[in-house]
Amino acid sequence: IDYPDILIRKLLEKFNNQDILSVIEENSNNKKTCFLNGYYNNIEKITDKDINNIFVLLNEQVNNKEIYVIDIRNLLKYEKVKKGTLEKYCTELLNLYKPKTNIIYNCLYGINFLEQNDIEYIIDSFENIDTFENLYILCLNSLIDNNGRLGIAILKKDNNFIYKLVTNINNFKRSSSNLIDIFNEIWKLDNYNYYIDIAFNEINKHYFNYFEIEDLFISENKVDENIMLRKIKWIDKYIHENYEDLEKMIYIFDVINAAFINKKKEFILTYIKLNKNVKDFKKLPLFSRLSSWSGSEIPLIDKKINFLEDLYNSINGLDYIEHKDYIMSRIDALKQYRINIRIREYLEEYL
Average pLDDT estimate for 64-74: 93
First to last CA, the chain: 60
Q: Is the per-residue pLDDT at 1 higher than 50?
A: no
pLDDT digits (tens, 9 = 90+) for 86-133: 999 999 999 999 888 889 999 998 888 899 999 999 999 999 999 999
pLDDT, residue 223, reads: 65
As a three-state string, the secondary structure of the chain is CCHHHHHHHHHHHHCCHHHHHHHHHHCCCCCHHHHHHHHHHHCCCCCHHHHHHHHHHHHHCCCCCCCCCCCHHHHHHHHHHCCCHHHHHHHHHHHHHCCCHHHHHHHHHHHHHCCHHHHHHHHHCCCCHHHHHHHHHHHHHHCCCHHHHHHHHHHHHCCCHHHHHHHCHHHHCCCCHHHHHHHHHHCCCCCHHHHHHHHHHHHHHCCCCHHHHHHHHCCCCCCCHHHHHHHHHHHHHHHHHHCCCHHHHHHHHHHHHHHCHHHHHHHHHHHHHHCCCHHHHHHCCCCCCCCCCCCCCHHHHHHHHHHHHHHHHHCCCHHHHHHHHHHHHHHHHHHHHHHHHHHHHHHHHHC
pLDDT digits (tens, 9 = 90+) for 74-90: 999 999 999 999 999 99
Average pLDDT estimate for 206-218: 64
Q: Is the per-residue pLDDT at 206 higher than 60?
A: yes
Q: Is the per-residue pLDDT at 238 higher than 60?
A: yes
pLDDT digits (tens, 9 = 90+) for 154-203: 999 999 999 888 877 666 554 456 777 888 889 999 999 999 999 888 87
Q: Is the per-residue pLDDT at 212 higher than 70?
A: no
